[in-house]
A and B are shown apart, each in its own frame.
Chain A
Amino acid sequence: MQINNVTKQFGTHEVLRDINLNIPEHTVFGFVGANGSGKTTLMKCMLGLLPLTAGSISIAGECVTFGETRSNDYVGYLPDVPEFYPFFHARQYLELCAVITNMPKSERMTRIDELLELVGLVDTKSLIGTFSRGMKQRLGIAQALLNRPKLLICDEPTSALDPAGRAQILSILQKAKTETTVFFSTHIVSDAVQICDHVAMLHEGTIIFQDELINLQQQFSGQFIYTFTIPATEAMEQLQNLPFTMRVDANTLLVTLPDDAARLTFMKELTRQKLIVQSMQPQTKLLEQLVLEVLG
């Protein structure tokens, strides 16, 4: 999927400004941003539900147009609050979706069984009207995967779920990666860190950063957080002759030790200075930090 210079205005209010994104196949692409940053608007533009003010979007080589767009043949969509017909059972709803996507009759039952099994609704006999939020979300994923889409677009699929529900959805999305590309938006950064290969962050209508998650982590790799039996400021004073970047943050010492040699040197110096380490851990919540920095 390619998003080229997309701008979207509602009246004079610019919601998206010059967005460029390239989503590689068979990856999980996390689209991070605060509420109201424009994530849902971009997704609706990708589905042809909103017209673009400028720019273009193409999915599997098909240009997205407003209204009825052929690019949707390759897309599965899970809205943030999926709404279904309450008088249907899960299977009946999926049958309706199968008819609408013109799925051959011979394939329908097998595919529906497969998906109900995947999302854990195969034994559910109740009407959709009685479903919990988590069950609706799972049915939403099932319908989105029904026509084996090349791109699965999920709008905040975990935002209103309890921890167990979130874990289930994330696990399903991870499994879905084998047969499709997953593009999901979230404001829960830990969800993105858990399953994403690529991450982009939208802030005030523009993309602040986009990269592979591993690259983002490497930018900060080599950072370690130390706590000592003495205040971190005192420890830093004793270690100030070392050639490493150090700073104190909330009584912890953040040290950048890019390689093994640097780490050994630092440990020797700690011993020499008789500094007793209380705890030491590599910097891990990097994406969260980046997001917090951006949001101020």
Chain B
Amino acid sequence: MNQWFGFFKKEWFESVKTYKLLLVVVIFSILGILNPFTAKITPVLLEQFMPAGTIMDLPEPTALDSWLQFYKNVPQMGLVVFILLFSTMMSKELEKGTLVILLTKGLRRSTVITTKYMMAICYWTLAILLSFTITYAYTAFYWDQSTLQHLFFAASCLYIFGLLLIAVTLWGNTYFATPYGGILVTFIGMIGLFITAIFPQSKSWNPLELATAPPQLLTGDLLPADVFVSYLLTLGLTLVFVVLTVVHFKRKLV
């Protein structure tokens, strides 16, 4: 086992011991169940809570409603919780000084960053897979999903957007070396993306499109080609932030 896998194994062990695995599995499983459940139950609830005598003509829920819940819950709740869980990846080590001994033993600084990022990617993959699979299976149980378009590509958009946010969080967390550094940078970054989205011209390249476009992709109002530039730009930015983190950490005093 070489140095990279050795440290990666430590990251895995740590994440299990600090209940990250348990939390991710529980949270994203609940979200997976919640999506079709909310779609199914919402019309019933609305009817129950309306004043007596009110006549409502609600359409029957469809598979699309279930997936709309997915693209509302996973980015708004799941991704936020995920970022919070992984927001102290570096600062915890830097504050406690647990890396000092290992760095003086020859642990490469790039290994520290890449293993931590890779571990976060593994967890994000698990989170999306879990939530997606449960939503898919549960939705298939109630409704026909054949009318939905680009189902997997739409999910990949959200996945890629998550990779960018994790990279930004890791950079902020390494740069400021405080637990709030990563969250703050990501929060400011998100505000920046939202402000940019005000301008219609940015629609063709804004990474935020990857989080907002999936419902339109499912209905066919948008084609994968329409978010192609955003997709590539997000991947590129992700790489840039990971490289920036490595470069910064190589010069950082520990």
Closest 8 CB pairs of A and B: A99-B6, A87-B17, A77-B104, A83-B97, A83-B98, A100-B107, A100-B105, A47-B104
Q: How far is the CA of A99 from the CA of B6 in the complex (A)?
A: 6
Stretch at the interface among A67-75, A173-181, A198-206: A67-75
Determine if B6 and A81 form an interchain contact, defined as CB atoms under 8 angstroms apart.
Answer: no
A79 on the B face (CB < 8 A): yes
Output the least CB separation between A141 and chain B (Å): 12
CB of B98 within 8 A of CB of A84, answer yes
- Contact in complex: B102, A97 (CB < 8 Å): yes
Contact with A100, one of B96, B106, B251, B253 (Cβ below 8 angstroms): B106
Residues of B within 8 A of A (CB): 1-3, 6-7, 10, 13-14, 17-18, 96-98, 100-109, 250-251, 253-254
Contact of A49 among B2, B6, B17, B253 (CB under 8 A): B253
Complex CA gap A99/B13 in Å reads 15
Please, which residues of chain A bring their CB within 8 A of the CB of B1? 99
User: What are the residues of chain B within 8 A of A75 when measuring CB–CB?
Assistant: 104
Q: How far is the CB of B108 from chain A (nearest CB, A)?
A: 6
Give 19 new A-B contacts, CB below 8 A, not counting A84-B101, A96-B102, A102-B2.
Answer: A49-B103, A49-B253, A49-B254, A68-B250, A72-B104, A72-B106, A79-B97, A85-B14, A87-B17, A99-B2, A99-B6, A99-B7, A100-B7, A100-B102, A100-B105, A102-B3, A102-B106, A140-B101, A146-B105
Contacts of B109 in A (CB 8 A): 67-68
Given contacts A87-B17, A96-B6, A99-B1, whether A49 and B101 have CB atoms under 8 Å apart is no
The verdict on A50 contacting chain B, using a C-beta distance below 8 Å, is yes
Which residues of A are at the interface with B, using a C-beta cutoff of 8 A?
Answer: 47-50, 67-68, 72-73, 75, 77, 79, 81-85, 87-88, 96-97, 99-102, 140, 143, 146-147
Asked if A85 and B98 make an inter-chain contact with CB atoms under 8 angstroms apart, the answer reads: yes
**CB < 8 Å: which of A81, A82, A85, A147 contacts B105?**
A147
Q: Is the CB of B104 within 8 A of A100?
A: no
Which of B13, B14, B97, B103 counts the most chain A CB atoms within 10 A? B103
Partner of A79 from the list B3, B10, B100, B107 (CB cut-off 8 Å) is: B100
Nearest Cβ on chain A to B10's Cβ, whole angstroms: 6
Determine if B6 and A100 form an interchain contact, defined as CB atoms under 8 angstroms apart.
yes
Q: How far is the CA of A48 from the CA of B111 in the complex (A)?
A: 17
Q: Contact: A87 with B106, CB < 8 Å?
A: no
What chain B residues lie within 8 Å of A67 (beta carbons)?
Answer: 109, 250-251
Distance of A84 Cα from B96 Cα, bound (Å): 9
Residues of B near A146 (CB, < 8 A) are 105
Residues of B within 8 A of A68 (CB): 106, 108-109, 250
Determine if A73 and B106 form an interchain contact, defined as CB atoms under 8 angstroms apart. yes
Q: Write out the residue numbers on chain A whose beta carbons fall within 8 Å of the beta carbon of B102.
A: 96-97, 100
Which chain B positions have C-beta within 8 A of A85?
10, 14, 98
Checking B6, B17, B18, B101 against A143 with a beta-carbon cut-off of 8 angstroms, the contacting residue is B101
Q: Return chain B residues, CB-CB under 8 Å to A97.
A: 101-102, 105
Sample 28 A-B pairs with CB under 8 A, ordered by A number. Answer: A47-B104, A50-B253, A67-B109, A67-B250, A67-B251, A68-B106, A68-B109, A72-B104, A72-B105, A72-B106, A79-B97, A79-B100, A83-B97, A84-B101, A85-B98, A87-B13, A87-B18, A96-B7, A97-B102, A97-B105, A100-B3, A100-B102, A100-B105, A101-B105, A102-B2, A140-B101, A143-B105, A146-B105
Identify the closest chain A residue to B6 (Cβ).
A99
CB–CB B98/A77 < 8 A: no
**Residues in chain B near residue A100, CB distance under 8 A:** 3, 6-7, 102, 105-107
Docked CA distance A100–B7 (Å): 8
Residue in chain A with minimal CB distance to B10: A96
Q: How far is the CB of A13 from chain B (nearest CB, A)?
A: 15
Q: Which residue of A lies closest to B17 (CB)?
A: A87
If the complex has contacts A77-B101, A100-B3, A143-B101, are A83 and B96 also in contact, measured as CB distance less than 8 A?
A: yes
CB nearest neighbor in B for A67: B250
Contact present for B106 and A101 (CB under 8 Å): yes
The CA-CA distance from A101 to B98 in the complex, in Å, is 16
Nearest B residue to A143, CB-CB: B101
Give Cα A1–Cα B53 distance, bound, in whole angstroms.
Answer: 91
Select from chain A the residue with minimum beta-carbon distance to B7. A100
User: Bound state CA distance, A156 and B168, in angstroms?
Assistant: 38
Q: With both chains docked as a complex, state the minimum distance between the C-beta of B105 and any C-beta of chain A, in angstroms.
A: 5
Alpha-carbon distance between A100 and B101 when the two chains are bound, in angstroms: 11
Nearest A residue to B98, CB-CB = A83
Look across to chain B and name the residue whose beta carbon is closest to the beta carbon of A48. Answer: B104
Q: Which residues of A contact B13 (CB under 8 A)?
A: 87-88
